[in-house]
Structure 1
Amino acid sequence: MNESVSDRNWVPNVPLNVLLSKAAHSHPGTRMHFHTQQGLTSVTTLELATAADRLARGLRAIGLRRGDVIAMQLPTQRETAVLYLAALEVGAVLVPIVHIYGPAEVGFILRQSRARFLCVPERWRGIDFLERVEALGNLPDLERVIVVGERTPQNGITLKEVEAISQHAKIKNESPPQPQDVCLLLYTSGTTAAPKGVQHTHQTVGAEWSIPFIDGPGPYLTPFPAGHIAGFNFLLRPFVTGTDMVFMDRWDAPLAAELIECYRVRLSGGTPFHLQGLLDAARHAGRDLSSLVTYGLGGTGVTPEHVALADSSGFAGTRAYGLTEHSTVSIGWRDNTFSERACTDGRVQPGSQVRIVDELDRDLPTGSEGEILTKGPELFVGYTDPSLNAIAFSPDGWFRTGDIGKLDSVNCLTITDRKKDIVIRGGENISSQEVERVLATHDAIRDVAVVAQHDAQYGEKVCAVVVLQSGAELDLAAVQRHFAQAGVARQKTPERLLIVDELPRTASGKVRKGDLRARANALKTSP
């Protein structure tokens, strides 16, 4: 077992609104540069905190209270940061939703979380979000939709109207948030068919922001959307660390290369997909990336070759490992040896603990592969569905990550495989069972299994292995139309279709997905 490498208590004793306000006044000049479809907005963290304090009064005036759930499906922009901060100030439970989710996923999240408020843009990148709101279905708990824009649905209100209300709202003695309160609810795809609600408190999030993570002074450019755990952390962590940030409202490799040159960005990170896209774009446009000193890699499919690619491009590549449930378990630093940076997923974070165990939860010797169990101050406090907690935690409180790995003698962790039945495409977790459930509703399909297929661009992509009904025909285009009609996010749509006579199964009837993955990865990359 790896013990915490530091005795320091990383758990803050104040709620996030207090932590962020103090940090904004300690680093008042920290700048956030938002590049969106509307153009550039540059603002300091102190200005954001001041705007959020005003907006919180407006949110209270329209009925938001401590403990209420407020969901937000917004791109990375100034308004998103202010809304996040204001919700934390009120003491609400914030539910960020990734922008790729369609009405099916968003409707499930809103019903499962019992959200009272929903925040969306009017339009974004050609998508009419008000049309999406109309397609969400029955939402008995939803009372108000706040729109960043001009139009609103029935019983909706614009963000500008809430801001106007805040100018005249009286400050009342409200129950303040407490450090142990749940403040963040994130839905992540895993082995279950439906997304799982991951609950974090002010303390678990505050610990994640307080533990060293950013490798030196900024500016830092991040590709992750605000609805993703990494994007959420990068949007608000800089208040605490005082790191200047550069944001885009969607990933655009040529723009990222341009911004790195323009702002002399020192730090960045992403998946191998982001790194390769950035380098290709910079090479094509002749962009100068010489200011970069570190590029942190995460997600599936990170190899020593990716770290070597970063190094050969003039900046140190590093690797890290984390989950929505435990944001950062291990991380590499640019002053580590190349072997540590390239061949491991970094050293276990201060405060965190890792065990490598066998199938009976017995600790394995250093260097042995087994399931990774974790503890730490930033570990989530449980799922919204209590039945999942019994499976996710050991009797003595260790979190079962579902990943396979090993620890070395200097506390470097290496992920070697995973037990969880998911596809990780471009850093996004996709539940195989969720995709299988949609496929099973197609009239032509008798049996189905979904596996990850290696992809040079995204790390993995969704491969559907199907058995057809007698006499039926099916092609990939028909499958993709079926997913579009089901309102499922495009990223979850199969990109490879494999038709077989029968699925391989164990003696107990379970599908041998390892065999299917091997078969899928042995195929040519064309669909």
Structure 2
Amino acid sequence: MAAVPGSLIGAILETEARAPGTPLVVASDGQPSHTTLAEVVAAGRRMGTRLSDSGVAKGDVVAAMLPNWREWLVVAVAAAQSGAVLLPIVTIYGATELGFILRQSGAKWLFTPERFRGVDFAALIGTCGDLPALRHHVTVGPEFDRLETEGMIADAVPCDPQDMALLVYTSGTTAAPKGVMHSATGLLAELASMRALRARGKQEVVLSPWPPGHVAGALAMYRFLCDAVPLVLMDHWDAAVAAGLIETHRVTTSSGTPFHLSGTIAAAGTEGRDLSSLEQYLVGAAPVPASLVERCRAQGLAVYHCYGSSEHPTVTSGVVDDPVEKQLHTEGRPTPGTMLRFVDDAGVDVASGEEGEICTRGPDLFLGYLDPVLNDAAFLPGGWFRTGDIGRLDAEGYLHITDRKKDIIIRGGENISSKEVEAVLLTHPAIADAAAVAAPDDRMGEIVRACVVLKPGATLDFEGLRTHFAAAGIAKQKTPERLTIVTELPRNATGKVLKHMLRLAG
């Protein structure tokens, strides 16, 4: 049976038939390996056939807690082949987040490394508690090899392109991660939008530093699978390695946070690397210093911003031909098919050009949250998604972000929920009251600062706080990197903590 038009597997097969030799380079521990789109697709289809033979049915969830490896792509093809929903999970998650995600999603299969960056994944899963839906945990090794190499390839399981195909989790502003559902239709619309914005008459070569557990990293992978864009991957960040990969593979396009970009430029200078092939760099997920953009432009590198989220991956984007002032100080203009509204707290449109909460609608908008309870607060009538960010459009249609309504900290592109950090702080026996806020950091953009009120007679030092967070089983990146002890937290008349005052005092 032929793949359903508009499905992920249909797009993958059409792309593989057109450009089977599209190259993939994966740098792990600084040692690049090479393969092609045809090899990845064949391996994924064999694995997908084995998944179907083992009882995976259309709509079942298959999780990949894998780094930027070839194996992630194989699992993505296998999920599309078998009609399953792919659930990418970032490898930094501890038992608390991982257990919640596996239980809520009902994932039946989980693919992980055996060990990666010091983590024993079998041991980690053993500390996640009861996982009633999970049937198989496969580590990269002999069993993975068998699934991708043995047996014949059957016809792909037909799927409705409007059904959920990808499930990603974001911490957002709540203590528990939120499951964000995307359809094949939405994902392919996002890829088409990027194709229209980035097309410059020659073949791109993309370097992606984004972990594929995030939507930005997953989309880089799908550009390789569905658009035949040559891809260079890094399984962990090393600025010197990135500069070397750009030089060796003549990378034309990359993306990242200011941390990634500034590190690459600095490393190229130190290592004597040639970055002349790099023509454009898309910066998102963190505030971008204008000085960094100006420095890049002086080297002939066009740097521009974008704005999006796990729910709506690319809402606005700059392009290389934008005026310098717009590249420096805006998030670009709406992507093809995307519409914006700006509303007040009551959901009423503000006057044109005034600041309001940004609401979006477009072909790549998510289907909704896996927990339907979250959808009521997330949408206005008519399917408008409330981003929680404050902004305005200027006279030329460029977006300016002026504030964040969401209470999040963006550390090196990673969204960290203040509420989640605060929940862990308040379990410490010495802490009576606590708030987590963003603190500026030259390297990461923002880091977590804990502002705490101690119980009478109690003491707390930074090492004690780090030990407490390590025992809580959450990602290390969420551990506060600054500690401020205060006598009381500033609050308004209704008792809400005035976090802007804490940020100013930091």
Q: TM-score range by the shorter chain?
A: over 0.9
Name 2:337's counterpart in structure 1. 351
Aligned mate of 2:356, from 364, 370, 374: 370
Q: Deviations over 1:438-465 (max 9, x none)?
A: 1111100111111111111111100111
How far residue 99 of structure 1 moved from its aligned partner, in angstroms, is 1.1
Aligned mate of 2:198, from 214, 217, 226: 214
Q: Deviations over 1:201-259 (max 9, x none)?
A: 11111111111343543211111011111110001113333321111111110000111
Name 1:154's counterpart in structure 2. none
Aligned mate of 1:495, from 470, 478, 481: 481
Name 2:415's counterpart in structure 1. 429
How far residue 174 of structure 1 moved from its aligned partner, in angstroms, is 7.5
Q: Does 1:269 align with 2:255?
A: yes
How far residue 39 of structure 1 moved from its aligned partner, in angstroms, is 3.1
Name 1:407's counterpart in structure 2. 393
Aligned mate of 2:159, from 177, 187, 202: 177
What is the TM-score with the length of structure 2 in the denominator?
0.95
Q: Does 1:308 align with 2:300?
A: no
How far residue 295 of structure 1 moved from its aligned partner, in angstroms, is 1.1
Partners of 1:174 and 1:52 in 2: CA distance? 11
Aligned mate of 2:367, from 364, 367, 381: 381
- Say if 1:73 and 1:14 are closer, same or farther in 2 by CA, change over 3 A: same
Q: Does 1:199 align with 2:185?
A: no
How far residue 415 of structure 1 moved from its aligned partner, in angstroms, is 1.2
Aligned mate of 1:253, from 223, 236, 239: 239
Does the 8 A contact of 2:83 with 2:156 survive in 1?
A: no
Name 2:151's counterpart in structure 1. 167
Partners of 1:62 and 1:260 in 2: CA distance? 41
SS of the equivalent of 2:484 reads: strand
Aligned mate of 2:6, from 14, 38, 62: 14
Name 2:78's counterpart in structure 1. 86
Q: Does 1:517 align with 2:499?
A: no
Partners of 1:38 and 1:342 in 2: CA distance? 33
Partners of 2:270 and 2:31 in 1: CA distance? 24
Name 2:169's counterpart in structure 1. 187
Q: Deviations over 1:327-378 (max 9, x none)?
A: 0001111111101111110110001001112223232333321110000000
Partners of 2:152 and 2:318 in 1: CA distance? 49
Aligned mate of 1:112, from 101, 104, 121: 104
How far residue 409 of structure 1 moved from its aligned partner, in angstroms, is 2.6
Partners of 1:433 and 1:69 in 2: CA distance? 28
How many residues align structurally?
499
- Say if 1:175 and 1:35 are closer, same or farther in 2 by CA, change over 3 A: closer
SS of the equivalent of 1:256 reads: helix
Does the 8 A contact of 2:198 with 2:319 survive in 1?
A: no
> Structure 2 matches for 1:316-335, cutoff 5 A?
316-335=302-321
SS of the equivalent of 2:448 reads: strand
- Say if 1:361 and 1:129 are closer, same or farther in 2 by CA, change over 3 A: same
What is the TM-score with the length of structure 1 in the denominator?
0.92
Name 1:525's counterpart in structure 2. none
Does the 8 A contact of 1:295 with 1:310 survive in 2?
A: no
How far residue 303 of structure 1 moved from its aligned partner, in angstroms, is 3.1
Q: Deviations over 1:89-121 (max 9, x none)?
A: 111111100111111111110011111111111
Give the stretch that moved more between structures: 322-331 or 44-53: 44-53
SS of the equivalent of 1:354 reads: strand
Partners of 1:174 and 1:316 in 2: CA distance? 41
Does the 8 A contact of 2:46 with 2:152 survive in 1?
A: no
Name 1:99's counterpart in structure 2. 91
Q: Deviations over 1:377-420 (max 9, x none)?
A: 00001111111100000122200000011112332112111100
Partners of 1:223 and 1:85 in 2: CA distance? 21
Partners of 1:213 and 1:127 in 2: CA distance? 39
Aligned mate of 1:393, from 379, 395, 400: 379
Q: Which runs of 5+ in 2 are unaligned?
A: none
SS of the equivalent of 1:167 reads: coil
Does the 8 A contact of 2:81 with 2:157 survive in 1?
A: no
Aligned mate of 2:117, from 114, 125, 144: 125
Partners of 1:237 and 1:213 in 2: CA distance? 13
Name 1:7's counterpart in structure 2. none
SS of the equivalent of 1:160 reads: helix
Does the 8 A contact of 1:30 with 1:239 survive in 2?
A: no
- Say if 1:366 and 1:241 are closer, same or farther in 2 by CA, change over 3 A: farther
How far residue 468 of structure 1 moved from its aligned partner, in angstroms, is 0.5
How far residue 168 of structure 1 moved from its aligned partner, in angstroms, is 5.7
Does the 8 A contact of 1:215 with 1:294 survive in 2?
A: no
Does the 8 A contact of 2:342 with 2:350 survive in 1?
A: yes
How far residue 41 of structure 1 moved from its aligned partner, in angstroms, is 2.1
Letter in 1 for 2:267: A
Does the 8 A contact of 1:13 with 1:203 survive in 2?
A: no
Does the 8 A contact of 1:219 with 1:267 survive in 2?
A: yes
What is the percentage of aligned positions where both structures have the same residue?
Answer: 47
How far residue 270 of structure 1 moved from its aligned partner, in angstroms, is 0.6
SS of the equivalent of 2:292 reads: helix
Name 1:57's counterpart in structure 2. 49
Name 1:465's counterpart in structure 2. 451
Aligned mate of 1:229, from 212, 215, 230: 215
Letter in 2 for 1:177: C
Letter in 1 for 2:198: I
How far residue 58 of structure 1 moved from its aligned partner, in angstroms, is 1.2
> Structure 2 matches for 1:274-285, cutoff 5 A?
274-285=260-271
SS of the equivalent of 2:198 reads: coil
Partners of 1:23 and 1:352 in 2: CA distance? 26
How far residue 470 of structure 1 moved from its aligned partner, in angstroms, is 0.7
Partners of 1:459 and 1:363 in 2: CA distance? 32
Does the 8 A contact of 2:67 with 2:211 survive in 1?
A: yes
- Say if 1:215 and 1:449 are closer, same or farther in 2 by CA, change over 3 A: farther
Name 1:149's counterpart in structure 2. 141
Give the stretch that moved more between structures: 421-430 or 57-66: 57-66
Partners of 1:29 and 1:336 in 2: CA distance? 34
Aligned mate of 1:24, from 13, 16, 34: 16
Does the 8 A contact of 1:215 with 1:267 survive in 2?
A: no
- Say if 1:38 and 1:295 are closer, same or farther in 2 by CA, change over 3 A: closer
Partners of 2:102 and 2:52 in 1: CA distance? 20
SS of the equivalent of 2:380 reads: coil
How far residue 321 of structure 1 moved from its aligned partner, in angstroms, is 0.5
Partners of 1:298 and 1:174 in 2: CA distance? 36
